[in-house]
Structure 1
Amino acid sequence: MSDFDTLGLRPELNAALKEAGLTSPTPIQSQAIPLATEGHDILGLAQTGTGKTLAFGLPLISHLLDMPERPAAKTAKALILAPTRELVNQIAENLRAMTQKTKLRVTVVVGGQSINKQIHQLQRGTDVLVATPGRLIDLMDRRAVDLGQVRHLVLDEADQMLDMGFIHALRRIAPKLGTPRQTMLFSATMPKQMEELSRAYLTNPKKVQVSPPGKAADKITQSVHFLGNKADKQVKLREILSKDMDALTLVFSRTKHGAEKLMKGLVADGFNAASIHGNKSQGQRDRAIKAFRDGTITVLVATDVAARGIDIPGVEYVINYDLPDVPDNYVHRIGRTARAGREGEAIAFCTPDEADLLRQIEKLMKIAIPVGSGEPPTDPVARKPQPRGRGRGPAQAARPEGQKPKSKSRGRRRSRSRQAA
């Protein structure tokens, strides 16, 4: 008997868990599954890598197994929204592992793939529709999907959906959903806008929180290296990578251009590297992640937008080559290691113009990250991030991927969000 047997799941789900080698639920699963199985709306706060997918997926599947009738054409019984293609694919993969011996159908719709093929798949109807908001809106506009039969809604990584501007898409999608319905919202952080979102979409929710927002996994060893400039970063990165050439290492760059340039430089120096970012096609991103998962590629250079859905237990190192402009993203990034109960190491590089970004990260996490090498800058001026600029040129090119220019219209913002999905 496994610990999952005590959570009130259906026998076929317990059998699927055992077949997958899962015997003990994570804290978020132990708390959320019984409440969600009872039909409560759920507000779940947990860092990445804590097992959130099964926390909402298992009770969702259990409810759907109690609804044996086949879905009508173009309809879905449950809708799961996630901000990136990689995360959507990861969720669907986990759900299919749990439903492979049932008649439940899981359908994925994301940007970067043939919309005509997705229209054809939806024509049959589906039990679970896993989607990025942008592509779902496109399908709604083409009248290829009817959301009126949806009785279960899941918003996963909802904080990042807000960061990417998907709030407008959510406002269009929500009125089309069936009622009454169960809604589950999962997020790694709880900014003020997230509180407003939960009030708008959840009814008397049960709050489940397994770690304070901004707290990294206990099994992650962190360090920061203070460096003088970009050239020093390149030297330090190669020094670290050379110490363990076979270790799976995820390297974060702030921009798409920076990620691609860094990857090409590593390949030229003999490292087995690939990159994923918003300028890559979905096929290229999928192949890079598969090669990384298989160990064919050992260094994956990524941006924040592309990497949220990476769930690979074997990642040993996460290197923040560039510190993120948003402190919460640091927690998301380093959460790519130490997954599934393993240990991992998170290494950050900090140049003088990033000192204030580091200060904000440490303030959020309420810790001082141990120094790996170098000396923290003492000049107060050096602690201030350099201005990005507003005109055309290098400052504009350095805008982080996914960040929307303030001067654009709301319509343009929607368009950028759809492209990101």
Structure 2
Amino acid sequence: MVFVRLREILACAPTGSGKTVAFCLPLLAHLHQPTNKGFRALIISPTRELASQTHRELCKLSQGIGFRVHIIDKGAVAAKKYGPKSARKFDILVTTPNRLIYLLKQDPPAMDLSSVEWLVVDESDKLFEEGKTGFRDQLATIFLACTSPHIRRALFSATFALDVEQWCHLNLDNLVSISIGHRNSAADTVEQELLFVGTENGKLLAMRDLIKKGFMPPVLVFVQSIERARELFHELVYEGINVDVIHADRTQQQRDNVVSSFRSGKIWVLICTALLARGIDFKGINLVINYDFPTSAVEYIHRIGRTGRAGHKGKAITFFTEDDKPLLRSIANVIKQAGCPVPDYMIGFKKIHSKLRRKLEKKPPRRTTIRTTPRFLMKKGGSKQSRWVNK
């Protein structure tokens, strides 16, 4: 008998460098061919959009082999679809944590993970965040449900906080840590620029100036909240460009339609929150605009990582005001490390206390409403503006 000691993997590589292929190909090669054992591989993603993208790539890579790759759409429907017997018809499952937990908590559980040989956690630093945005408790439940003694666990991300690495060393067996390039760094294929706009009103002027000068679509614009995404959309919808907005308050069908339209070129400018900052691969994004300043260097890296992917060049412009000064130093350091110019005075700012930094990450500064349109036009029935008010 030959005993092979399995290694758990913690992998970090820049955005757009091919992490999805890096875990999909070994997974498919190891599974070799379809069986009737049930789900043998499980991939966890933080958002539905990223799960859909991974599912699509797996289907392409396994074409002609016969693997049955599935994604959970709705928990209630899946509870009937993935019963203990029917689950043996499938090989690979891609899902978000919440939908899988819903199935595991059914009585009896509507999902059997005892045959899972590969457990991949994509964008794992996001999944391990604590609080409302994290999935640490759900991941613990999923880990315990995967009971096969032959299971391999692999965690991938473009960034890693120290606490994630510490957790992995404490809870995973025989861990090997792999880093491509500098840890928590931006891709050097992105031309990065910081643009001082004075006040919140200056952001809209700067945005309209960029549109007036001309730009090459597609463009992603990041804001810090759903409400601000709506507000900016109402301002840009009359600028003569094809613009839309995506955020967590829109239905899944609306979000899927927007993503599809953006991929096909029907939408030139897409306004979004952090929902799309993780892992989503849009081909040929030419420009990322950080309308609202990122709350951390990690968030900044993921936002601008939507451009400059797979060796292609891209550009990122980040607006900042006086209110953003506390976080300016950390972003400037990321930009400088990537080889882009930044003023020396930004690097020289005093480093903020860790307690204040964590507070700013959880609660960004309050910003004035994005609006130049008179309020009565926003509410006037029958106008073009009113048709978009619920975007």
TM-score range, shorter chain: 0.7 to 0.9
Amino acid at match of 2:160: M
1:168 paired to 2:132: no
The CA distance in 1 between the partners of 2:70 and 2:26, in whole Å, is 18
Aligned-pair CA distance for 1:201: 4.7
The residue aligned with 2:82 is 122
8 Å CA contact 2:329–2:349 kept in 1: the answer is no
Secondary structure (helix, strand or coil) at the match of 2:250 reads coil
The residue aligned with 2:382 is none
Listed one character per residue, the Cα deviations across residues 276-299 of structure 1 (whole Å, up to 9, x for unaligned) are 111111111111111111110010
Secondary structure (helix, strand or coil) at the match of 2:40 reads strand
Long gaps (5+) in structure 2 = 351-355, 370-391
Deviates more, 1:282-291 or 1:119-128: 119-128
Aligned-pair CA distance for 1:269: 2.5
The residue aligned with 1:345 is 315
The residue aligned with 2:8 is 41
The CA distance in 2 between the partners of 1:57 and 1:244, in whole Å, is 39
Aligned-pair CA distance for 1:319: 0.5
The CA distance in 1 between the partners of 2:170 and 2:96, in whole Å, is 20
Q: Tell me the percent identity.
A: 37
Aligned-pair CA distance for 1:200: 4.4
The CA distance in 2 between the partners of 1:179 and 1:244, in whole Å, is 58
8 Å CA contact 1:313–1:342 kept in 2: the answer is no
The CA distance in 2 between the partners of 1:86 and 1:201, in whole Å, is 29
Decide whether aligned partners of structure 1 residues 245 and 154 sit closer, same or farther in structure 2, where only a CA change above 3 A counts.
same
Secondary structure (helix, strand or coil) at the match of 2:286 reads strand
Decide whether aligned partners of structure 1 residues 194 and 320 sit closer, same or farther in structure 2, where only a CA change above 3 A counts.
same
The residue aligned with 1:152 is 118
8 Å CA contact 2:335–2:342 kept in 1: the answer is no
Aligned-pair CA distance for 1:365: 5.3
8 Å CA contact 1:312–1:336 kept in 2: the answer is yes
Listed one character per residue, the Cα deviations across residues 261-282 of structure 1 (whole Å, up to 9, x for unaligned) are 1112111222211111111111
The CA distance in 2 between the partners of 1:364 and 1:379, in whole Å, is 14
The residue aligned with 2:68 is 105
Which of 357, 361, 368 is equivalent to 2:327?
Answer: 357
Decide whether aligned partners of structure 1 residues 141 and 294 sit closer, same or farther in structure 2, where only a CA change above 3 A counts.
same
Listed one character per residue, the Cα deviations across residues 335-376 of structure 1 (whole Å, up to 9, x for unaligned) are 00011221000111011101222212223555486469xx98
- Mapping of residues 258-269 of structure 1, within 5 Å: 258-269=228-239
Decide whether aligned partners of structure 1 residues 247 and 365 sit closer, same or farther in structure 2, where only a CA change above 3 A counts.
closer
8 Å CA contact 1:86–1:308 kept in 2: the answer is no
8 Å CA contact 1:45–1:208 kept in 2: the answer is yes
Listed one character per residue, the Cα deviations across residues 304-345 of structure 1 (whole Å, up to 9, x for unaligned) are 134424201210000110111122110001000011221000
Which of 208, 230, 233 is equivalent to 1:238?
Answer: 208
The residue aligned with 2:56 is 93
The CA distance in 2 between the partners of 1:133 and 1:262, in whole Å, is 31
RMSD: 2.9
Amino acid at match of 1:158: S
Decide whether aligned partners of structure 1 residues 397 and 171 sit closer, same or farther in structure 2, where only a CA change above 3 A counts.
farther
Figure out how many residues of one structure are paired with residues of the other and give that number. Answer: 345
The residue aligned with 1:23 is none
The residue aligned with 1:415 is none
Long gaps (5+) in structure 1 = 1-37, 399-421
The CA distance in 2 between the partners of 1:57 and 1:261, in whole Å, is 39
1:65 paired to 2:11: no
Listed one character per residue, the Cα deviations across residues 172-197 of structure 1 (whole Å, up to 9, x for unaligned) are 11111022311111122221221133
Q: TM-score, normalised by structure 1?
A: 0.75
Secondary structure (helix, strand or coil) at the match of 1:149 reads coil
1:79 paired to 2:46: no
Q: TM-score, normalised by structure 2?
A: 0.81
Deviates more, 1:304-313 or 1:326-335: 304-313
- Mapping of residues 13-412 of structure 1, within 5 Å: 40-66=7-33, 68-72=34-38, 76-109=39-72, 113-123=73-83, 124-125=86-87, 126-142=90-106, 143-163=109-129, 164-177=133-146, 178-364=148-334, 367=337, 370=341, 395=366
Aligned-pair CA distance for 1:117: 2.7
